[in-house]
Amino acid sequence: MKKISAFTIACFALAACAPKAVSPPVPARIVGADTIPIPLAEMGARTYKGLGGGLFSGSNTEPADHDATGRTHRNAIQPLDVNGTPSVSGRYVLMSVGGGDVSAAWCSISSAPPCNSWSFAGRATSDLSVNHSSLVIVNGAIRDIGPAMWSSSKSANYNRIRDTRLAPLGLSEKQVQVIWMAFTDSSAEFSVTATQVEAASGLQHIGSTIRALKERYPNLRLLFLSSKRYRGFYPGGEPQSYESAFVVRWAIEAQINQSRGRPPNIDIGSVALSGNGAPWISWGPYLWANGAKPRADGLSWVRADFDSTGLRSSRQGEEKVGGILFDFFRSSTYARCWFLIGPVCN
């Protein structure tokens, strides 16, 4: 099983002098009834390998304090000029981060514009209800790059975004204020099936990437995370894809706990909102459903949603995820007021 070989994160340096940090409870493999994957939002009192359900550990509702902080960060989104100064003629950027499937659903598999009409950005561009005067949608995702290309702020990948995605539109890194980041590629570093080390490496990657994003994009306010979608049509794709949601949940909980005064999670490191160290983190669309078995909201994944390998999206799959993203941004409490024309963030 593929693992991230090495990460150097600040939390290890802090661990010696701070109160003992808390890692998420990742049990060893348990064989039995609770190895049946159920969408997190539908688990109720059931467990999976000893882990409870819910997008927020036992609940699908954003905790009240985290919700209030998210609304504050949402309300701070405003048009900025290239220097990051508020300007009535400025822009704010909504950007994607991830691999090939992220790029294809957001814009195009090539990563470069123009975006396909069935993609998220294609839909948003043609929809008259979307704010086209201040909002600019940019595709930062690209296929065939590893986690290390996102987890270091000095990576050439960030220069690629700056020089080939932002600059041609007259934009700067200081105008990026919202990001959707998804872990939809084939690497299995988010698995909780065997040992805590595997889940820890996924948390380390998320934490390092969050800090790198904030360093490159100092005005980043909101970061929406999505775990992997169903990969059962690809050999070895499950249950790792399902299990990636627990790691994303732990990352969000790490920020919630740190905001409540607890020490940084030892694996993810500091994701504190104070000191401009991290954006506000929460769920983007939860994409996993158990193949052709519909979720309560009707989402399912069929063979035709994937290419001949069963790994990458077909056009039908790209269109499905693009539609889910569009519905998310026009309905989310934390997005609709800056994504659409009319609503006011207050």
Residues in the chain: 346
23 found inside a domain: no
HEC profile for 86-144? ECCCCEEEEEEECCHHHHHHHCCCCCCCCCCCCCHHHHHHHCCCECCCCEEEEECCCCC
- Give me the residues of the chain with pLDDT under 70, please: 1-33, 184-198
CB 267 within 8 A of CB 246: no
228 found inside a domain: yes
**What's the number of domains the chain is made of?**
1
2 found inside a domain: no
What integer pLDDT is reported at residue 25 of this predicted model?
47
Instruction: Give start and end residues of each alpha helix (H) in the chain.
Output: 10-15, 64-75, 100-106, 120-126, 148-151, 156-161, 196-216, 240-259, 315-331, 336-339
pLDDT, tens only, 280-305: 999 999 999 999 999 999 999 999 99
User: 274 to each of 68, 75, 152, 193, 259, how far by Cα in Å?
Assistant: 15, 17, 21, 34, 8
28 found inside a domain: no
Q: Which of 181, 43, 31 is nearest to 101 (CA)?
A: 181
Cα angle: 115, vertex 117, 120; to 5 degrees: 70
247 found inside a domain: yes
Q: What distance in Å separates the CA atoms of residue 84 and residue 68, rounded to the nearest whole number?
A: 25
27 found inside a domain: no
Cα angle: 188, vertex 220, 282; to 5 degrees: 50
What integer pLDDT is reported at residue 2 of this predicted model?
39
CB 116 within 8 A of CB 124: no
CB 48 within 8 A of CB 291: no
Say what the alpha-carbon torsion angle 228, 320, 209, 258 is, to the nearest 10 degrees: -70
User: 252 to each of 23, 256, 284, how far by Cα in Å?
Assistant: 13, 6, 11
What integer pLDDT is reported at residue 190 of this predicted model?
54
Q: What amino acid occupies position 296?
A: A
Order the strands of the 176-182 sheet from edge to edge. Answer: 135-139, 92-97, 176-182, 222-226, 280-283
Instruction: Give start and end residues of each alpha helix (H) in 162-235.
Output: 196-216
CB 60 within 8 A of CB 272: no
Structural domain harbouring 260: 44-339
pLDDT, tens only, 306-319: 999 999 999 999 99
What integer pLDDT is reported at residue 192 of this predicted model?
62
Domain holding 145: CATH number?
A: 3.40.50.1110
At a CB cut-off of 8 Å and minimum separation 6, what does 89 contact?
79, 81
Q: What distance in Å separates the CA atoms of residue 130 and residue 330, rounded to the nearest whole number?
A: 8
Q: What distance in Å separates the CA atoms of residue 108 and residue 59, rounded to the nearest whole number?
A: 35
Q: What amino acid occupies position 340?
A: L
315 found inside a domain: yes
55 found inside a domain: yes
Please report the sign of the dihedral spanned by the C-alpha atoms of residue 190, residue 200, residue 324, residue 221. Answer: negative
What integer pLDDT is reported at residue 201 of this predicted model?
79
What integer pLDDT is reported at residue 144 of this predicted model?
84
